[in-house]
Amino acid sequence: MFRTRFAPSPTGYMHIGNLRTALYAYLIAKKAHGTFILRIEDTDQKRNVPEAVQAIYNGLALAGIAYDEGPDKDGGHGPYVQSQRKPIYSQYAKQLIEQGDAYYCFCQKEDKPEPGDERIEGLKDPCRDLSSEEVQARFDQGLQPVVRQRIPLEGESSFFDHVYGDITIDHKQLDDQVLLKSDGFPTYNFANVVDDHLMEITHVIRGQEYLSSTPKYNLLYQAFGWETPEYIHLPHIIKEDGKKLSKRAGDPTFEDLVHMGYMPEAIVNYVVLLGWNPGDDRELFSLQELIEVFDMDRINKSSAAFSMDKLRWINGEHIRALSPEAFHETALPWYPGSLHRFDLKELSRLIQIRTDCLGDIPEMLGFLAKLPEYEASLFENPKSKSSLESSKIVLEAVIPLLKKQETFSNAALFETLKAYATESGFKVGTTMWPIRTALSGLPASAGGATELAALLGKEETLIRLEKGLAKLS
RNA sequence: GCCCCUAUGGUCUAGCGGUUAGGACGCAGCCCUUUCAAGGCUAAAACCCGGGUUCGAGUCCCGGUAGGGGCACCA
């Protein structure tokens, strides 16, 4: 039985890297019909953001990732919030001390050498070999110790990682890390081992930054006589310029992207592809499909750059795949109020195929509510063989025609205008271009001449056509 | 400083000793077309460098280089 967990610290938002980690952990569990668990790692009392747990719930819900066990969903392995598990950690720390696998350390932070400090070579923690009397004496002085893991001085540790393969690290590289802080809270380094074991996690999925400390965790598992889990360390997601993604630098979080108009399903689809591929050419997946096709042994080792361009394309593909009804519902919240007089359903029909990002909708449709200022030169377009002259002739001829037009439907309008084109000798494109241009005031619009005319209605169509003609006179 | 990891077009990637190095995004062009899209077609664009091993190396080994990560009472 697979049991995986997503164990974020509550920082207040879900960044892209976190989303992918959650996703992979979820997919690995679900692929195996296993259990996916949410655990909150809030052991750093200095860093806790009060409302942040809610942000995690929201983020996961938005992504469609449902957990089987979590703080608000007991599965018999709780509590699922580390700050509520404090007694558990001290109990296990005590066991380690009794076994000699950990020790009390009374040093102050300043006593420790910095990385790069030459003294660090072969330097042992002075508290490592304190006798029980010496320890007691320090306790009697009222000193608050930390508990440190006693790493063997000799030897090396190896483990297998599903992404990176076999990793070996010399014990000399491992420091006697703090297990319990002086405030009694565990460090991540300790809590993750105890909790993963107690919660019966079978597969640990986390960022690559933990790769080199994994041997320390394995030593802990061994000291307790516990079975080590399988490891899946994930490469980082970076930016196209090679820098790392950071909220501070203005890089969007998952929630930001949703607010920008990217659909959660599309973001999920894109993010899962950052460091994984199905082994064939498929790129478009629903969450459900991902569960079926995901394979942890196909995760890449190298970091991947987040591309807005590709996200945009995938988002467009997801939008186009929607039924017209579903798209309409999705698009509705993005319509500006100024469009209320229009047939919104028809608008949705027109823009669906052209929409890559929902956030583009207001801009795409703005011209309907208010004709933009434009230059007469817009009527010149070599592709449709339109010139200032031809446009003027067409508009002059077409205005009276449309005045007489009774049914302002797309089909009827097209029939009328096409008939004019045939009769006048102008190409259909040459006829339509000036009309479309005058109706939109834009070089490109969501909809052709007759579609726009039908949408705008007879009155507004004629007003705009006259305005266009005025620019040409 | 020490240790770990990574390296295929601009980007995401396939490859797992013998391929004209495949696909996708983006970019350019063409077709289609009532503008723009969408769709279709075409093009340009890559194995970090140097040594080995081998009949043969993007693929295996070693060494560089470059990038990332770790060495916290942060996770």
A246: Cβ under 7 Å from strand B? no
- The residues, any chain, with a CB within 8 Å of residue A168's CB and separated by 6 or more, are A156, A157, A158
The stretch A86-99 carries a mean pLDDT of 95
The stretch A113-121 carries a mean pLDDT of 50
Tens-digit pLDDT profile for residues A202-242: 999 999 999 999 999 999 999 999 999 999 999 999 999 98
Please count the residues of chain A. 473
Partners of A36 in beta bridges: A4
Taking the CA of residue A422 and the C1' sugar atom of nucleotide B30, their distance in angstroms comes to 27
ipTM of the predicted structure?
0.96
Indicate if the pLDDT at residue A114 is higher than 70.
no
Q: How far apart are CA A367 and CA A163, in angstroms?
A: 51
User: Which nt sits closest to A170, CA to C1'?
Assistant: B3
> What confidence score (pLDDT) does residue A246 get?
87
Indicate if the pLDDT at residue A173 is higher than 50.
yes
Q: How far apart are CA A305 and CA A237, in angstroms?
A: 6
- pLDDT above 90 coverage of chain A, percent: 86
> What confidence score (pLDDT) does residue A110 get?
56
A282: Cβ under 7 Å from strand B? no
Q: What are the distances in angstroms from CA A408 to CA A374, A424, A432, A452, A466?
A: 25, 22, 16, 10, 17
Residue A120 · residue A113 · CB < 8 Å: yes
Q: How far apart are CA A81 and CA A361, in angstroms?
A: 41
- The residues, any chain, with a CB within 8 Å of residue A229's CB and separated by 6 or more, are A196, A201, A202, A203, A204
> What confidence score (pLDDT) does residue A119 get?
44
A181 is catalytic: no
> What confidence score (pLDDT) does residue A139 get?
85
Taking the CA of residue A157 and the C1' sugar atom of nucleotide B51, their distance in angstroms comes to 31
Residues 178-237 of A with CB under 7 A from strand B: 178, 181-183, 185, 187-189, 208-213, 236
Residues 365-424 of A with CB under 7 A from strand B: 383-384, 410, 413-414
User: Which nt sits closest to A384, CA to C1'?
Assistant: B35
Residue A219 · residue A157 · CB < 8 Å: yes
Nearest residue to nucleotide B38 when comparing alpha carbons to its C1'?
A353
Taking the CA of residue A113 and the C1' sugar atom of nucleotide B65, their distance in angstroms comes to 31
Residues 435-454 of A with CB under 7 A from strand B: 436, 443-451
A279: Cβ under 7 Å from strand B? yes
Nearest residue to nucleotide B36 when comparing alpha carbons to its C1'?
A444
Q: Of A8-17, A42-51, A134-143, A252-261, where does the model show the most confidence?
A: A252-261
Residues 139-168 of A with CB under 7 A from strand B: 146, 164-165, 167-168
Residue of A112, A172, A239, A247 marked catalytic: A247
A48: Cβ under 7 Å from strand B? no
Burial of A109 (0-12, 13-18, 19+ CB in 10 A): exposed
The dihedral formed by the CA atoms of A240, A241, A242 and A245, expressed in degrees to the nearest 10 = -70
Q: How far apart are CA A421 and CA A385, in angstroms?
A: 13
Indicate if the pLDDT at residue A112 is higher than 80.
no
Give the H/E segment covering residue A306.
Answer: strand A304-306
A11: Cβ under 7 Å from strand B? no
Indicate if the pLDDT at residue A408 is higher than 90.
yes
Q: How far apart are CA A330 and CA A351, in angstroms?
A: 12
Match 């967990």 to its residue by tokens: A5
Q: Which bases of chain B come closer than 7 Å to a protein CB?
A: 1-8, 10-15, 22-26, 33-39, 67-75
Greater confidence (A43 vs A165) lies with: A165
Least confident of A37-46, A167-176, A251-260, A331-340: A37-46
Q: Of A16-25, A109-118, A379-388, where does the model show the most confidence?
A: A16-25
Amino acid letter for position A422 = T
Indicate if the pLDDT at residue A159 is higher than 90.
yes
Taking the CA of residue A384 and the C1' sugar atom of nucleotide B58, their distance in angstroms comes to 49
Residue A223 · residue A10 · CB < 8 Å: no
Taking the CA of residue A333 and the C1' sugar atom of nucleotide B41, their distance in angstroms comes to 38
Tens-digit pLDDT profile for residues A285-331: 999 999 999 999 999 999 999 999 999 999 999 999 999 999 999 99
User: Which nt sits closest to A311, CA to C1'?
Assistant: B25
| Radius of gyration from C-alpha coordinates of chain A | 32
Taking the CA of residue A300 and the C1' sugar atom of nucleotide B57, their distance in angstroms comes to 22
A120: Cβ under 7 Å from strand B? yes
Alpha carbon distance, N-terminus to C-terminus of chain A: 79
Q: How far apart are CA A143 and CA A107, in angstroms?
A: 10
A119: Cβ under 7 Å from strand B? no
Taking the CA of residue A210 and the C1' sugar atom of nucleotide B53, their distance in angstroms comes to 35
Q: Cα-flanking dihedrals φ and ψ of residue A232, to 5°?
A: -135, 95
- The residues, any chain, with a CB within 8 Å of residue A61's CB and separated by 6 or more, are none
Taking the CA of residue A266 and the C1' sugar atom of nucleotide B9, their distance in angstroms comes to 26
Number of CB atoms found within 10 A of residue A346's CB = 15
Kindly write down the DSSP assignment for every residue of A240-293, as one continuous string: TTSPBP-TTTT---HHHHHHHT--HHHHHHHHHTTTB--SSS-----HHHHHHH
Taking the CA of residue A236 and the C1' sugar atom of nucleotide B53, their distance in angstroms comes to 34
Residue A359 · residue A331 · CB < 8 Å: no
The stretch A165-191 carries a mean pLDDT of 94
pLDDT bin (cut points 50, 70, 90) of residue A120 is very low
- The residues, any chain, with a CB within 8 Å of residue A249's CB and separated by 6 or more, are A243
A122: Cβ under 7 Å from strand B? no
Q: How far apart are CA A264 and CA A257, in angstroms?
A: 8
Indicate if the pLDDT at residue A109 is higher than 70.
no
> What confidence score (pLDDT) does residue A48 get?
65
